Chains A and B, each alone.
Chain A
């Protein structure tokens, strides 16, 4: 079917099979490969994108179900060469090592700060618990989110 999306600020119309997953649309139909596919079953958070501002697992979402929606991916956080504060914080405070989980971590953290600009540590942990990381041990991720929230970037 023909699906209309506003992707990172740009209107797009694409033809996809009804069974197309949003993660495949983002990566292959739109060429935005910053979004990663990990578990494919909604558990790891690698495929996190925002649909109308809400974070979702794009690996469990049919593209056809979000017809008309605004999609934000990791590529959409930068504006005119300016990174999002969360991105800057991850760079500055070592919020990543191998980087595979990072686009998902940053999308989740960005969504958190949009909804709750000054989260407590417990709120950050609760929100981010579905974004797995095998490298950092999470402390640096937590610190990066805290710093971004504090404007300390």
Chain B
């Protein structure tokens, strides 16, 4: 690994100051599970790393006015095990439990996972389905973006140098919301998805009042399946309608062929798994 200088601030102000001071030369590091790998493979060589692991107040899970607030420094494993998350935001607990292995989830943080922006990652579709927002801080102040607007390209977010994710805020799902995350794993149980689909349907008396559907692993960023949502919204749900909604999905995919399958296969599986995720959500 190329040598770098590690800074370990204990307050957010100090961390933001260091990132501002070193500009392009600096990167935050949280769990390091993604960044250490990239640096080992010489795909990144920051001269300065700002360790977020000791920043006070960056880690933890709270509920406030019915919303769930997850600190950026919170490890995946704590989200998955948290009683409030399991009870009120079970889709998130289930999704985090599908990431890699316990060994990785003990270390990988929520903020690091989002900033890494690999389109194959599991959590973003579920966050988008639940209409989550991301809190961002820099020396200039704070701002908030919708989760679905965070991602720009392969491994690229709209975060600017000097900015860090501080928190994810997830509104409480209303009682009539039916959710599911389906991860297609033809290889091993701890792999990234070949395709993954999260759905959240607000169903009242058999009618779909609102729908949010998002997919990972089918293009340069996680994508929202708006056409499929439009097919469902306002309609009485039945198996043909679910099929019709899922059939709109391949058109919005732009996957790459790799060891998890050819581009064509992934597009086809995106349709199949969208349909199954819708069925799963309604069966729950």
What residues make up the interface of A, taking CB atoms closer than 8 Å to B? 1, 17-19, 21, 40-43, 45, 48, 51, 54-57, 60-62, 64-65, 67, 108, 126-127, 129-130
Contacts and interface: CB of A to CB of B under 8 A. Distances in A.
B205 interface: no
Contacts of A126: 189
Contacts of A21: 1, 36
Contact of A65 (B53, B188, B190): B53
A31 B32 CA distance: 24
A18 B5 contact: yes
Contacts of A40: 40
B103 interface: yes
B37 A55 contact: no
Nearest to B33: A60
Nearest to A66: B53
Interface residues on B, range: 20 to 34
Contacts of A41: 37, 40
Interface string B9-41: 000000000000000000001001100110110
B236 interface: no
B104 A130 contact: yes
A127 B77 CA distance: 12
Contacts of B104: 42, 57, 60, 130
A55 B106 contact: yes
A18 B32 contact: no
A1 B103 contact: no
B6 interface: yes
B76 to A, nearest CB: 12
B190 A129 contact: yes
A60 B190 contact: no
Interface string B96-112: 00001111101100000
B3 A19 contact: yes
Contacts of B37: 41-42, 60
A56 B5 CA distance: 23
A55 B106 CA distance: 7
B174 interface: no
A60 B32 contact: yes
B2 interface: yes
Given A18-B4, A19-B3, A65-B29, A130 B40 contact: no
B100 A130 contact: yes
B103 A17 contact: no
A56 B53 contact: no
B190 A130 contact: yes
B34 to A, nearest CB: 9
A130 B5 contact: no
A19 B1 contact: yes
Given A60-B37, A61-B32, A129-B189, A48 B3 contact: no
A108 to B, nearest CB: 7
Given A18-B3, A18-B6, A65 B103 contact: no
Contacts of A1: 6
Closest 9 A-B residue pairs measured CB to CB? A130-B101, A18-B6, A19-B1, A54-B106, A60-B36, A60-B33, A55-B103, A64-B6, A129-B189
Contact of A62 (B5, B6, B189): B6
Interface string B145-172: 0000000000000000000000000000
A138 to B, nearest CB: 12
B101 A129 contact: yes
Contacts of A43: 190
B166 to A, nearest CB: 19
Contacts of A48: 103
A51 B190 CA distance: 22
A56 to B, nearest CB: 5
Contacts of B107: 56-57, 60-61
A62 to B, nearest CB: 6
